Chain A
């Protein structure tokens, strides 16, 4: 039995956890749900020993764990999979996994043995592993999470804690992953699943604990609750999903045209294969696909960070790009909020004359945007890294919209966001399109795309294809995403 007693953790003036009690029994999947900033990740870090609580203690089988020692937690059999993958960028995936339990601990590092054991476990889980000897830095988010799950499982842990692992998995991988969790449960292990996908929690969990603002607000079971009830408990109010069909104007003239776009990497491997599509004014076009099928490269081409091998991108107006990786590509976490806003050229131009930066004008502009987009921050001078995930995303969306583009290209913008924050981002995107803007929404979350996109494209292995309205059921789309040809 894993038990946390009266855990309190404070960050500066923020009370992240306020006397939280939590318990999970052997042979159970315990879902931990809550909004961004509710304290889920903090609780996980306390359980996994990477954070020492201010008060309270963690017990495994009634034996207290040494606080703030991941090593002690691991030795006791608690392994964690973190939301942002904790991998070594410049090392190969085999080397990364060698840090897990695959290594036999012999004097000489047996990378081949590590790889073989990893492949065996991956095959059991239905995971695909990257080519041998490739470094982590160029792998997609989904691939990284898979590596982390493998690394955690390699310890053969008694307790496995997973922080939002499924948000980056493909539909085809998801059911296998949930089966895996069930297998682990059947073996008598304790599985703690942190998620914001309520359907998933209800489908797989035995018990559900709901956190809100650092407190446990409910302990329930799937039989006793529904998605709507859980959502209500999490945010304290009912979320109104945006209605995609309402008030949508007819699409206007084409604004963004992509013609026969080809991208080869330096080894000659084809990443994007003759992509052609267009986005019209007032239209939200979705591109669905499993991560790692060329989406990141497409976004980089559109942003002008990369050069295409062949083909054309024609945009009849300014474009704002919201990259998928908020913390690495989208924001500069140790710069101030106003500095992050003026990273965007159009906003910078508004506060610059003849090369001189008018700081006070930039701060005023930022104050205005903070208010308009309801970014919860003490002020423009706040360091971006002090914001929660949801507010970081609001910051990115605010920056894109305030840049007054004709096209917004957004990649996985709601990943890791809770229901309320997701709805708000969608509302903002819909308003933008309603006012005649064009949106290209690239996402691996089908529900999101089905909810707000007018047209839906599927990308698979660098090829793109448009879906018909009659193909819009998740099963068919899942097949297409997995690369099925008609």
Chain B
């Protein structure tokens, strides 16, 4: 247990060490760069809150990815699902002025979840009924979602003055309020943390979650013992999509209040890294997402004070992933296999283990 927590941090430390060499060779002082990074992420109350705000969409998408991956469904489409969820929320959100706040919030978040579920469900259906590899379909659906958002803000949902490619702001009733204004901390973070606990319970304390994990570890055996793989595939992809879509709706409701192009900076892809660092454990998604949110948040301060490009943080994140993939955990062999074209239910994916003799 300890090592499972320590490993991601060891990977992070190693990534930072490698980056330090590059920084030093370019004449920068690695210590002041990382100090600026930390300062930007956690240096003040406001910075801490902003880190949490930046982490929130990563928790939603991280959960989406970890649920799907637990069932060996390689959902690379959390970004598209989040985008569709945001579109649904943005479209519905402008019409909620007459509703009480609580009900408007429930409606706008439900719209986001349903939108994401539909988007994930399409990939699930394609996999279950037409045997279309979900890696391909979810990547393709990402493009469709991005273009759909672009069309929406240039077309049907464009604000009335037609001056900017954005939608009209959502009704005040549908906006999640900020606590401790002017900081942007909102109910979305709390919802995300609660959902992490729900996902954990679902995976490890319910019969349905057991089916899901069994499917993820050995599709053939799961089939043999009466687990209905096609139906489960559709449900899991829909659930995964719903989590991502909810993240999109929270972003619209709490932060952006309207739709615009490139709403997501790639949360759905960063989520794969988050899920990896968390080793698919929904509870660990929260700290992993905060870690990545902190790196994102700190990168701007790093640029301001040290004149280091914020993209450096993406290099650190990528190195963390590579280090973990290279040195860690059979749970990921499925993804590795998938990238190389074999599916995870192959005989080859069942790892040979040392035999324990009978005596």
Contact = CB atoms under 8 A, between A and B. Distances in A.
A382 to B, nearest CB: 8
B206 interface: yes
B98 interface: no
A344 B225 contact: yes
A16 B357 contact: yes
Interface string B281-293: 0000000000000
A253 B348 CA distance: 44
Interface string B207-225: 1111001100110111111
B106 interface: no
Contacts of B204: 357, 359
B97 interface: no
B218 A328 contact: yes
A332 B218 contact: yes
Contacts of A361: none
Contacts of A11: 354-356
Interface in B77-91: none
B346 interface: yes
B43 interface: no
Interface string A147-177: 0000000000000000000000000000000
B265 interface: no
B355 A388 contact: yes
Interface in A28-71: 35-39, 41-42
A465 to B, nearest CB: 28
B224 A330 contact: yes
Contacts of A224: none
A183 B342 CA distance: 39
B103 interface: no
Interface residues on B, range: 20 to 34
B358 A334 contact: no
B207 A355 contact: yes
A356 B224 contact: no
A335 B220 contact: no
Given A12-B354, A14-B354, A334-B330, A329 B206 contact: no
A391 interface: yes
A309 B28 CA distance: 72
Nearest to B355: A388
A323 interface: yes
A14 B206 CA distance: 35
A305 B207 contact: no
A370 B131 CA distance: 39
A371 to B, nearest CB: 16
Interface in A356-411: 356-357, 359, 376-377, 383, 385-391
B214 A335 contact: yes
B351 to A, nearest CB: 7
B29 interface: no
Most A CB within 10 A of own CB, among B341, B346, B351, B355: B355
Contacts of A359: 204-205
Contacts of A389: 355
Nearest to B354: A11
Contacts of A90: 341-342, 346
B218 A333 contact: yes
A12 B348 CA distance: 23
B22 to A, nearest CB: 36
A448 interface: no
Contact of A391 (B209, B210, B348, B358): B358
B224 A323 contact: yes
Contacts of A342: 210
A386 B352 CA distance: 9
A455 interface: no
B355 A333 contact: no
B359 A376 contact: yes
B350 interface: yes
A303 B221 CA distance: 11
A356 B206 contact: yes
A332 B221 contact: yes
A335 B355 CA distance: 15
Contacts of B357: 14, 16, 36-39, 213-214, 388
The 5 closest A-B pairs by CB, nearest first: A37-B357, A11-B354, A385-B353, A332-B218, A343-B225
Interface of B: 204-210, 213-214, 217-218, 220-226, 330, 341-342, 346-348, 350-351, 353-359
30 contacts: A14-B355, A16-B354, A16-B357, A37-B355, A37-B356, A41-B355, A84-B347, A89-B342, A89-B346, A89-B347, A213-B357, A323-B224, A327-B350, A328-B350, A329-B221, A332-B214, A332-B218, A334-B217, A335-B214, A342-B210, A343-B214, A345-B226, A355-B207, A356-B205, A357-B204, A357-B209, A376-B356, A383-B353, A385-B351, A387-B356
Given A88-B348, A343-B222, A356-B207, 13 more contacts: A16-B357, A89-B346, A89-B348, A213-B359, A214-B357, A305-B223, A334-B350, A334-B351, A345-B225, A357-B207, A357-B209, A391-B356, A391-B358
